[in-house]
Structure 1
Amino acid sequence: MKCITRSLSCLILATVASVAVACSGADGADGAMGLPGADGEAGVKGDPGAAGENGDKGDPGTAAATEGTLTGTVTDAVLKDPLADVTVTVKDSGGATLGTPVKTGADGKFSVKAPVGTVVLKLTKTYYTDSADIMVGVIAGTTVSIAATMSEAATGAPTVTLAWTGDDFGYGKTATLTATASSPTGSTLTYAWANNTATKIGSVAAGTDPKTATATLPTLADATKLRTEGGVETQYVSAYKLPDRLEVLSIVPDTRGAVSVGVTVTDGRGQKATASASLNAASIQTGLRNVALGQRVYLNSGHDGTNAWTLTTKPAGSTATGRGGICSPPPRGGEYVRGGRESRRDSRGRSSAT
């Protein structure tokens, strides 16, 4: 093996020497590209770059809701119709006003802003009773609806008075009465007339104009006619029962052959007002006294239904007449005398005459 190696070395050297001596050859072609080398290690991290400029300012964000809306309708407690011009005030639990009060429209509706939480609504209107506190919970960004009613106060009630002309109108005569009424709320008024006489005599009728009425006084016969009570014939002057005995009897003015007239006015909310008047057919006089000219007179004789009294003396030229206990108006001054006999019974039923 050693011998062979030497021989080859000698041969190669000889050949190279021979070529070098003989001539110079052209450069050999480039050798094939070597394989890529292994990846190098990562370099050292560089320093941070400079800060960039500030960007444009963004749009404002939406604020969170801090209030809600209260809406509602206010109506009359009686008629259920909408109430205009009601003041709606929002208050906190301590009674402090929150925001600006609002008023209802012609349709009775309102809308008002209120802070989130529990608030109190207060309703007020002239001639109406203030509402009780209305507690409402307000939710952010939402609408809460309520319905409320109000009642008319006493200050909103109507008023009425009656007027007529004269007195001692005469039996069977008529008198005209006029009612003057008003409503502070401007409500439309209705009129109802009535005959309020305890024992219904005479009559009362409403006129074509509802503010007026005509009262018809009882006739002389109606004012003094006999009525049966418990099977016993009893005499009345209007509503006044006459005792069956001879005496001077005091009769209160309201029972002197009068008709009591009443009127009731009612407004659109149901509130009422009344007025009354007592119209006399003739003034009753008890006992002997001075009587004004032209005044009708009633003289109580005890039981006029059975007496036979007459007007025995009167001034010359007088046309006055008498029947029972009634004397027509004396047209002339002077002395008037009534006399006669009256049959009556005592407590034992025995007849006598005076």
Structure 2
Amino acid sequence: MARGVGQYVVIRGLMIIPTVLILYTIVFIFLRILPGDPILAVVGTKNIAPEQLEHLRAMAGLDKPLYVQYFDYLIRMFHGDFGVTLAFPQGKPVWEYLKLRFPATLELTIFAFTISVLLGLITGVIGAIRKGSKIDTSMRIYSIVAYTLFIPWFGMMLQYLFGVHFHILPTSGRISPGVELHRMTGLYVLDSILTTNKEALISTLKHLVLPSFTLGVVLSGAYTRLVRNNMVDVLSQDFIRAYHARGVKDWKVTWYALKNAFIPVITLMGLQFAILLGGAVLTETTFNWPGMGTFIVDRIDYRDYNAIQGAVVFFAFFVGVISLIVDIVYALLDPRVKY
């Protein structure tokens, strides 16, 4: 069994490499077929001497043939070098930006993921145990509405209601101006706890409420429907009727049913976590959250090849690792899965 698990992990881990290569290739090609010149985008003017333009292109490595650019960056990437930024501030290692921005996106993702799972489980279970009732219909309507919400619109409505109208919660940023925080991991909540900084912890949590709730609610609809349908199927099985016949309490029966219905949800959780990481762009832009999403949007405006390629490849690798972990957990939870 251990040998089978080891082989499975190695094979699934190796599959991340071609996934990253394919995505890198697609991004590389699309960036270069799009109209516009990254050097002119950085300079901000077309009134530049051709000699100076060629000099800047040479400094950025854009004067080389495309296949040379492709393999040069690929080789450096496998050595952990994501290049330097082409746009302001020029020459700064892209990896420095990734280290700075990724923890912000990861923190937002963790909180939004937690909210989405909790809301989905609660609404899904309620709908299942009240199957056919008005409550069940309400839960199904909730799942449809939540899944179709447009993140910027929903986020702005929450900003207006809780930030502008009631003045309860901040509408942008990660921490209030003037609040000092010693950054250790880049995850502000964790850093606040590790440094026992109560003021920073309260400020950070307040700033997380609106963006994480916005993203969490939108993605909770998928959990609601999946949990509800799986629970309805499990609750109709013979072993559930046997529990009722033996006089087992309703809450225990519901718990047993949820555990059996939860296995397919594990796969969705892994996919949703990956979607949260990649789909945080809209949320980060709406709430001016200084994460990977706003970084990529900013770099796209400047056609910063290195920064965009590095961010996308980093995302792809991390999502691949998350998918691997989910597959392993799924296989461990479901004995029917064979390695």
Q: TM-score, normalised by structure 1?
A: 0.20
Higher percent of residues as helix = 2
Q: Which has the higher strand share?
A: 1
- Does 1 or 2 have the higher relative contact order (CA < 8 Å, sep 6+)? 2
Tell which structure's C-alpha radius of gyration is larger: 1
